[in-house]
């Protein structure tokens, strides 16, 4: 992590402001400007904004996707980059207005959360090996599209994957509801999505202290990255074994983005550092 960013604000992305032009005025002035999503916009939902690049998405209802062999091959067999349209990711376009940024953060949804959040017309969740591969390829191509879009104007790019569904998928694997996919495969493939040349980051969005399988802690024993952890809802009280894993994680190049601000609707009128 660049020393210049130590102690500065690491934005999570979602904003309650209904006017997309308002956040740009202050976000562009931050030490780490970031791509934001407006919760008031249906099109900027964290699932819809990326799944919308699939032609058949939501033809039969909200968050419904029926994947035929043509669509599957189109996404998994081709390597070309993909980029959501401006209506789905407004800030990615509005912030890149000719301004050059020394540091910039963008984000996208991790493939396990895409699997967990989308269903077929029969109501089945798409959590299995073949559909995880489908969404892993989709998000890899979108990641490259984001990188290509940003690289000419952003010297250092922090690329965060948000994965609020990972804990649920982990539970489905452990309870036998998913039998052809492992947590190890998910972590390995998710780590492979980051484009070369970015600083990787990851937001589990849940109780990070419990992300564990036997004596393996995926957050600390995977690709070194910036781990975004909520320490308000989940205080950093851990056993010595996990503390040692965290120390080694940081020694290997990992870093921490600490979630210390409560999630409130009231705006902050002064600098977070103040």
| Structure-token pair, residue 172 | 């489905």
Average pLDDT over residues 7-15: 83
Q: What is the pLDDT of residue 262?
A: 62
How many Å separate Cα 92 from the centre of its chain? 14
Q: Which of 113-122, 184-193, 255-264 has the lowest mean pLDDT?
A: 255-264
144 to each of 14, 137, 208, how far by Cα in Å? 22, 11, 27
Global confidence as pTM:
0.93
Average pLDDT, the chain: 92
Range from 16-30, 56-70, 83-97, 194-208 carrying the lowest mean pLDDT:
16-30
133: number of CA atoms within 13 Å, CB side? 11
Residue 46, φ and ψ in degrees, nearest 5? -65, -20
Whole-number percent of the chain with pLDDT over 90: 78
Token pair of 50, please? 């990326």
Segment 89-102, tens digit of pLDDT: 999 999 999 999 99
How far is 3 from 104, CA to CA, in rounded Å? 14
Q: Is 191 exposed, middle or buried (0-12, 13-18, 19+ CB in 10 A)?
A: middle
Over residues 141-193, the pLDDT tens digits come to 999 999 999 999 999 999 999 999 999 999 999 999 999 999 999 999 999 99
Q: Burial-class residue 120 by CB neighbours within 10 Å (0-12, 13-18, 19+).
A: middle
């Amino acid at each position: 992590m660049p020393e210049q960013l130590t102690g500065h604000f690491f934005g999570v992305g979602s904003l309650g402001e209904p006017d997309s032009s308002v956040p740009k005025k202050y976000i562009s002035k931050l030490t780490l400007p970031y791509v934001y999503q407006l919760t008031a916009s249906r099109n900027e939902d964290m699932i819809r904004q990326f799944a919308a690049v699939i032609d058949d998405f939501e033809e039969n209802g909200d968050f419904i996707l029926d994947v035929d062999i043509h669509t599957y091959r189109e996404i998994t067999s081709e390597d070309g980059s993909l980029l959501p349209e401006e209506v789905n990711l407004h800030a990615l376009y509005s912030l890149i207005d000719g301004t050059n940024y020394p540091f910039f953060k963008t984000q996208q949804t991790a493939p396990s959360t895409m699997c967990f959040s989308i269903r077929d017309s029969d109501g089945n969740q798409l959590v299995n090996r073949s559909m995880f591969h489908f969404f892993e390829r989709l998000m890899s191509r979108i990641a490259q599209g984001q990188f290509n879009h940003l690289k000419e104007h952003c010297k250092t790019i922090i690329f965060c994957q948000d994965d609020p569904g990972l804990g649920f998928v982990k539970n489905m694997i452990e309870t036998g509801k998913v039998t052809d996919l492992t947590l190890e495969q998910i972590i390995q493939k998710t780590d492979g999505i980051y484009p070369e040349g970015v600083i990787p980051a990851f937001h589990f969005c849940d109780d990070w202290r419990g992300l564990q399988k036997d004596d393996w802690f995926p957050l600390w024993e995977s690709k070194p990255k910036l781990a975004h952890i909520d320490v308000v809802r989940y205080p950093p009280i851990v056993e010595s074994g996990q503390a040692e894993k965290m120390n080694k994680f940081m020694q290997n190049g990992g870093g921490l983005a600490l979630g210390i601000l409560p999630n409130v609707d009231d705006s902050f009128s002064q600098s977070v550092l103040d």
